[in-house]
A and B are shown apart, each in its own frame.
Chain A
Amino acid sequence: MSSTVQATVKRRRSTSEIEESTPAWRRRLTSDAAARVAALLSFLVFWSLLALLFERVPGPVEVVQRLGDEFSRGEVFGNFGTTLYRFGIGLLLATGAGIVIGVLMGLSQLSRAFFESPVLVGLSIPAIIWAFLTVMWFGFGDMSPIVTTFLTAVPFVIVNVAQGVRGVSRDLRDMSSTYDVPVIRRVRDLVLPAVTGYIAAGVRFAIIIGWNGVILAEWFGGGGGVGYRARFWYDANRFGGFAAWVVLFVGFIVLLDRFVLDRAIRRAFRWRDG
């Protein structure tokens, strides 16, 4: 008795073949950029619907108009510059102190024991509490937003850097000590590149949380700035003006993250991609 076996051959296509056979419009519609645009459009539609349903929610068009008014009054650049100055100093201090303390905590058991509890306390205190406290301590002016940014951001940098330093390869550390590599070179060429990802993650958190801090300190402490201006419109019961400033500072963070931080991180890790 004989039987015939029918073999099923399934040919698998290469990625370039698949790409070539997909129409261009379909590739564009299923791209990452299209997904981002779709998310933005969905948000705008949702926002417009809310504005139609609720009287006290200003729509996108009204917010853009109010933003235009603020620009024509000359309020935007001055206040934004003031906030950026305070935020920049606070963030710079937080990053510097965070890296130093984080490296110490990662390298030394004694430093870890010393800093662990204060860092935990720092992490658990919300930005709004720091804003209240610094306004009480330093009053109106630059000091309270700078200190609030610093205090809210620094624990996040410390925790991330310490974790990164603890994860530095033991093999590479042994190799360095066998060859008597000087400590400064070890920190520069081994420890810092190894923790770059952790520093980047820490700074990213620090920027988002520190930005909240600076806005809140300006909100309560006055003395100009984005937070102060948002509070001004809130107190005036003009929600369009208030929302214009919210859009401005949220937009700033999104653009900063996408065009500066994201690119800087990709550049720092170009060795991974070869």
Chain B
Amino acid sequence: MAILNVQNLGKTFNLGTPRASRVLADISFEVSGQTFVSIVGPSGCGKSTLLNIISGVEEHTSGEISLTSDDGGPTRLGYVFQDPRLLPWRSVMRNMMYVQNDKSEATVARVERYLDMVGLAKSADLYPGQLSGGMQQRVGVARAFAVEPDLLLMDEPFSHIDAITARALRAQLQDIWEQSKKTVVFVTHDVVEAVELSDRIIVLQPGGLIYEDITIDLPRPRRQTDTKVATLQAEVLARLEAMKEMSRTAESAA
């Protein structure tokens, strides 16, 4: 498990040039333990940029960010991207092994176990081009869990696949998470998805600030047909609508 600490984080693209554009202004939060945190917000509010900064792909321009393993060892990251990002010239198994630290029997067994959990045990020797989009994304999910990460980042992993497959994958994700209990930071623009999966929802507002930090205290597994889940989804959606309205008012006043 990991402790992710973000303090007054800011990101401005093309800093110091006339084309400077601020995406994140002042973000502070902490995530630790067996927590599933979702970051939601409208398009362009900096959700993916925040995740890229946490993963080290992007650099931040102000503030501090630290990631520590609670056992004191080096931290390991897993990342499920919007698209599967698989090596097209390597089989599913070799894609899984590409990100592993070693090739020991225990590692191979772990990789096979996660492939089995996402229902792709029989597809290990296939190339990504031989799989459907949903299956490729399942490989991406299995790959991220199979590295046994201290922190798992997920960037709208189901946004590019059809609704039925996405629903099945969400259920699968819930099951895997229940078994592994990793620290997860999950970016989505879908409030329904966020309520179904998360213990906590951080709402970002346009301009790169945190609007609200909501705790979701509902028993798992959660299904959309559950009245409590549906009520909470409606409530969070209403709060997001209020935030949007407030942003629009502030924009027109400016």
Minimum distance in angstroms from A181 CB to a CB of chain B: 6
A274 near B127 (CB under 8 angstroms)? Answer: yes
With a CB–CB cut-off of 8 A, which chain A residues contact B89?
193-194, 196, 271
Q: Chain B's interface: helix, strand, loop or mixed, by majority?
A: loop
Q: Chain A's interface: helix, strand, loop or mixed, by majority?
A: helix
With a CB–CB cut-off of 8 A, which chain B residues contact A172?
85, 87
Give the docked Cα–Cα distance between A228 and B94 (Å). Answer: 50
With a CB–CB cut-off of 8 A, which chain B residues contact A176?
98-99
Minimum distance in angstroms from B88 CB to a CB of chain A: 6
Which of B55, B87, B127 is A190 in contact with, Cβ under 8 Å?
A: B87
With a CB–CB cut-off of 8 A, which chain A residues contact B81?
171, 175
Residue of B nearest to A193 (CB): B89
Q: Interface range on chain A: under 10, 10 to 19, 20 to 34, or 35 or more?
A: 10 to 19
Minimum distance in angstroms from B145 CB to a CB of chain A: 12
Residue of A nearest to B143 (CB): A179
Give the docked Cα–Cα distance between A159 and B130 (Å). Answer: 32
With a CB–CB cut-off of 8 A, which chain B residues contact A109?
none
A32 CB–B CB distance under 8 Å: no
Minimum distance in angstroms from A68 CB to a CB of chain B: 47
A271 near B88 (CB under 8 angstroms)? Answer: yes
Minimum distance in angstroms from B234 CB to a CB of chain A: 35
B192 CB–A CB distance under 8 Å: no
Minimum distance in angstroms from B205 CB to a CB of chain A: 27
With A185-B98, A271-B127, A274-B129: A178-B87 Cβ-Cβ less than 8 Å: no
Contact with A along B78-97 (1 / 0, CB 8 A): 11010101011110001000
Q: Which of B57, B76, B89, B130 has the most CB of A within 10 A?
A: B89
Give the docked Cα–Cα distance between A94 and B94 (Å). Answer: 31
Query: Which B positions have Cβ atoms within 8 angstroms of A?
Result: 55-57, 76-79, 81, 83, 85, 87-90, 94, 98-99, 126-127, 129-130, 147, 153
CB<8 Å pairs between A and B, sample of 20: A171-B83, A172-B85, A174-B57, A175-B79, A175-B81, A176-B99, A177-B56, A178-B56, A178-B77, A178-B79, A179-B147, A181-B99, A189-B98, A194-B89, A196-B89, A271-B89, A271-B90, A271-B129, A274-B126, A274-B130
Given A179-B79, A189-B90, 10 more A-B residue pairs with CB atoms under 8 Å apart are A171-B83, A175-B79, A175-B85, A176-B98, A178-B153, A179-B98, A181-B98, A185-B98, A189-B98, A271-B88
A-B CB proximity, top 10 nearest: A179-B99, A193-B89, A175-B85, A271-B89, A274-B130, A178-B79, A178-B55, A271-B127, A174-B57, A171-B85
